[in-house]
Structure 1
Amino acid sequence: MERRYASHPQEVKQFDTARLRKEFHIPTLFTADKLELVLTHEDRLIIGGALPVREEVKLETDLKELGVGFFLERREIGIINVGGTGTVTADGTAYELNHKECLYVGMGTKEVSFTSHDPHNPAKFYLNSAPAHKVFPTVKATLEEADSSALGSFKNSNDRVIYRFIHQNGIQSSQLVMGMTLLKEGSIWNTMPAHTHPRRMEAYMYFDLPEDAVVFHLMGQPSETRHIVMRNEQAVISPSWSIHSGVGTSNYTFIWGMAGDNKKYDDMDPVSMKELQ
């Protein structure tokens, strides 16, 4: 498991492109028959992916890094499948996940594993795990079962649908909040006007991007913005002091995950367009 440390906003002002990418960009989430994990010290969120092709992949890592006997001893995890149909098995109970379906697995679950139904169209399980203080039941949700809302407009290039899976009024968790935003064809902007939420960090994972397309992910303090170029199935860490917005060369989908002081999806501090620099 790779470790990333937290950064101070005054320090980040001095970063060049290579340093920005080293600190915040996660280029590889899916490696055949492996588990990829990145631990950020921003609220101790773990970001990763499991790509079981011909073998079962288990949720395991160097437990000294977490100070526990098993991965979810003091953690919870949200899982969204962005590939073909697969199965997540949690302490012997199998949960089939189709494309863009979500599974929450609660603290105390000792064994979690991932398999694909078809090696020619394998499942791709994107993972967000946060520290937990209370046990909540394991729950699956489809897109139809998620709390959804349409926002934006074609005129403003941000016509989109937001699906909230794990949040205050949805699947219950200790602190993890997780969902997905789908931009419609012809729309390219996400989360603009921008916002921050100093009480929670956030991570984005962009997918459904054509091979030759990119998203320019915007980050930094409102008066000191920077960008990171994102490609398909890559993730980015957003500290609580940073905006997190983006514009693509085509429409795309992204998964957002948050950890921090509360589970309110709409707890944010808006940034006016006049403030951005």
Structure 2
Amino acid sequence: MEIRHEANPEDVKGGYTTEKLRNQFLIESLFQPNKLNMVYSHYDRLLVGGVIPGKDPIQLDAGEALRTEFFLERREIGIVNIGSQGKVLVDGEEFQLNKRDCLYIGLGKKDVTFHSNDPSNPAKLYFVSANAHKEYPTKVLPISDAIPTKLGADAESNNRTIYKYIHGEGIQSCQLMMGMTLLEPNNMWNTMPAHVHDRRSEIYLYFDMEEESRVFHFMGKPDETRHLLVKNEQAILSPPWSIHSGGVGTKNYTFIWAMAGENYTFKDMDFVPIEDLK
């Protein structure tokens, strides 16, 4: 498991090269065949990972990194399949996941394993985990049952659909919130103007992109913006002090967002007028 520590925004402002910015906030290689990869962030103790199971199942195991008896002893987790059909076994109970289906597993579950239904055409299981203080039921939300919210317009190049998986009116959790945004063809911008929520960290996974496509992901304080150039199946750690949801692609793209922190609401956003961005 890779450990990423917090960065002071003043340090980022004055001393971060492109390489250092990418090393701190960009996760370039989450998905590798027959392997579980994880990054532990000190921003709100979020943990992000990816796994491509092959012929053999892969267990959710953090080794010695968490200093707990098992992964979910003091944690909860949200999992989204971005590949072919797969399944997750939770203490012996099987949960099938098609592409873009979401599974939430609550505090206290001991044995979690990842499987591909067809190892020659494997699942790609992406997950984000947060600290938890109360057990909530394990639950699947298929993409077909998720309620779509349409936002944006072609005129602004941000015609998009948002699916909320884990939140106050969906799958219940302690503090983890998780969902997915799909941009329609010929639409490239996510939310602009951007917003900040200094009480919550956020993680983005960009996927379903063509090999040559890229997303310019904007981050930084509103008056000191930076960008990261992101390709398919790469993730971003977005700190609380940074602008959120600002990005433009060379083509349309899809991303999974996950948040945790001080509160449990989508309304805690301070929008930044576009004329104030620098």
TM range (shorter): over 0.9
TM-aligned CA deviation for residue 145 of structure 1:
2.1
- Matched to 1:261, the amino acid is E
Task: Tell me what 1:238 maps to.
Answer: 238
Task: Tell me what 2:174 maps to.
Answer: 174
Task: Tell me what 1:105 maps to.
Answer: 105
- Matched to 2:264, the amino acid is K
TM-aligned CA deviation for residue 152 of structure 1:
0.4
TM-aligned CA deviation for residue 144 of structure 1:
2.8
> Percent of counterpart pairs with the same letter?
52
Task: Tell me what 1:127 maps to.
Answer: 127
Task: Tell me what 1:270 maps to.
Answer: 271
- Matched to 1:228, the amino acid is L
Cα separation, 2, equivalents of 1:178 and 1:79: 9
Q: Which runs of 5+ in 2 are unaligned?
A: none
The superposition leaves residues 1-40 of structure 1 with CA deviations (integer Å, 9 ceiling, x where unpaired) of: 1000011110111211000001000001111111000000
The superposition leaves residues 128-162 of structure 1 with CA deviations (integer Å, 9 ceiling, x where unpaired) of: 00000000000100123223210000110000000
**Contact 1:101 1:143 survives alignment (8 Å):** yes
Report the secondary structure of 2:274's partner residue: coil
Cα separation, 1, equivalents of 2:91 and 2:193: 43
Cα separation, 2, equivalents of 1:29 and 1:243: 24
Task: Tell me what 2:184 maps to.
Answer: 184
Cα separation, 2, equivalents of 1:275 and 1:53: 49
Cα separation, 1, equivalents of 2:121 and 2:231: 20
Report the secondary structure of 2:73's partner residue: coil
TM-aligned CA deviation for residue 180 of structure 1:
0.2
Task: Tell me what 1:34 maps to.
Answer: 35
- Matched to 1:32, the amino acid is P
Aligned positions of 1:198-209 closer than 5 A = 198-209=198-209
Aligned positions of 1:135-214 closer than 5 A = 135-214=135-214
Report the secondary structure of 1:72's partner residue: helix
Task: Tell me what 2:63 maps to.
Answer: 62
Cα separation, 1, equivalents of 2:147 and 2:131: 24
Task: Tell me what 1:83 maps to.
Answer: 83
Cα separation, 2, equivalents of 1:246 and 1:19: 20
Task: Tell me what 2:22 maps to.
Answer: 21
TM-score under structure 1 normalisation? Answer: 0.98
Cα separation, 1, equivalents of 2:117 and 2:144: 22
**Contact 1:195 1:270 survives alignment (8 Å):** yes
Task: Tell me what 1:73 maps to.
Answer: 73
- 1:222 maps onto 2:222 in alignment: yes
Report the secondary structure of 1:95's partner residue: strand
Task: Tell me what 2:254 maps to.
Answer: 253
TM-aligned CA deviation for residue 171 of structure 1:
0.5
Cα separation, 2, equivalents of 1:200 and 1:7: 15
- Matched to 1:33, the amino acid is N
Report the secondary structure of 1:155's partner residue: helix
Task: Tell me what 1:53 maps to.
Answer: 54
The superposition leaves residues 175-208 of structure 1 with CA deviations (integer Å, 9 ceiling, x where unpaired) of: 0000000000010011211001011000000001
TM-aligned CA deviation for residue 121 of structure 1:
1.7
Cα separation, 2, equivalents of 1:193 and 1:265: 16
Cα separation, 2, equivalents of 1:266 and 1:48: 27
TM-aligned CA deviation for residue 67 of structure 1:
2.2
**Contact 1:168 1:265 survives alignment (8 Å):** no
**Contact 1:82 1:125 survives alignment (8 Å):** yes
TM-aligned CA deviation for residue 54 of structure 1:
2.0
TM-aligned CA deviation for residue 92 of structure 1:
0.3
